[in-house]
Amino acid sequence: MTSTPTRTVKPLRWTMLGTAAATSLALGQIATVATITATPAFAQSAAEAGEAGEAGAIDTEGAALHLTALGLFEAAHRIVAALYAQGEVTLAQEHLADSHHAYYEDLAHGIEEYGGAAFEAETLAFAEAVNSAAAPEVVAAAAEAVLAAIAAADAASGASDYERGLSIKDLLTVARADYDGGVYEGKVDAAQEYRDAWGFVETARARANALAASTNEASAKAGTAILEQIEALAPLFPSLTATEAGGDPELLPSAAAWTEIIALRIK
């Protein structure tokens, strides 16, 4: 049987995933037994702060919310793939095991509702490649397969470009919550939360790039304007494994707010 990352005991935080518990029962054959991970107190409190912030960060609904769920999942896989590509194999394995955004069952209901082909197999293949310390090119190919499947689910959703903009705003808002949980006075004291914030911003960037490439002139202009907001966030993320971060964290909520305003132009 293909292995999946061990799921840490944490409550699901996304209201649109209300049916995820029932879905996970249907996928029970691929689930692993949950374990409690021991975490130093200072890091645990920082992580809890990030998770508490995540809980109230999302205020969209419908297709935009579905795209956000896909984005959170995408971010987790982007992070793991990037760590692996940098030679941080153990850290990639640990991030995959500890991430509460990397579980396919949390997406299954949305994919069924909004259309798109299931991609459970691609997700399992990526997890197996990472956990077995496969060659970098194997992991990279598996990651590309997951990202392609997510893009296909996104395209099948029927979401408007306005809803796509709102989902980008969601990702930036959640990034702020996790950044606050992972960085204190310029020091990274909860690396998992910091990396999550990095992943959400990188996923927002990828989606803004896709919007900027639209054949619709208004949507393309909106995507370009959102990209300008995201580029200003670079000082906050000097690297994926940074121990110190610069810049003003208030740039994150500012970018999210401007993204929502920009999205309104294409409503």
Smallest CA-to-CA distance from 255 within 227, 235, 236 is with 227
Torsion of CA 151, 157, 158, 160, to 10 degrees: -70
Residue 36, pLDDT > 50, answer no
How large is the average pLDDT for residues 104-109? 93
CA-angle at 170, arms to 102 and 263, nearest 5°: 140
User: With contact defined as beta carbons under 8 Å apart, do 82 and 240 qualify?
Assistant: yes
Separation between Cα atoms, residue 165 and residue 71, nearest integer Å:
12
User: With contact defined as beta carbons under 8 Å apart, do 64 and 170 qualify?
Assistant: yes
* Mean pLDDT (the chain, rounded): 84
**pLDDT tens, position by position, 121-133:** 999 999 999 999 9
H or E stretch covering 187: strand 187-188
Smallest CA-to-CA distance from 62 within 114, 117, 109, 118 is with 114
How large is the average pLDDT for residues 14-38? 27
**pLDDT tens, position by position, 48-93:** 444 544 655 788 999 999 999 999 999 999 999 999 999 999 999 9
Q: What is the pLDDT of residue 230?
A: 98
Residue 255, pLDDT > 60, answer yes
Sign of CA dihedral 69, 71, 75, 78: positive
Share of the chain above pLDDT 70, in %: 79
User: With contact defined as beta carbons under 8 Å apart, do 181 and 49 qualify?
Assistant: yes
Residue 184, pLDDT > 90, answer yes
- Exposure class string for 157-174: b at 16+ Cβ within 10 A, else e: bebebbbbbbbbbbbbbb
Q: What is the pLDDT of residue 72?
A: 97
Q: What is the pLDDT of residue 51?
A: 53
At position 185, the amino acid (one-letter code) is E
Q: What is the pLDDT of residue 8?
A: 37
**DSSP state, 9?**
S
**pLDDT tens, position by position, 129-174:** 999 999 999 999 999 999 999 999 999 999 999 999 999 999 999 9
At position 194, the amino acid (one-letter code) is Y
Q: What is the pLDDT of residue 58?
A: 87
Sign of CA dihedral 57, 204, 134, 31: positive
Task: Give the 3-state secondary structure of residue 184.
Answer: strand
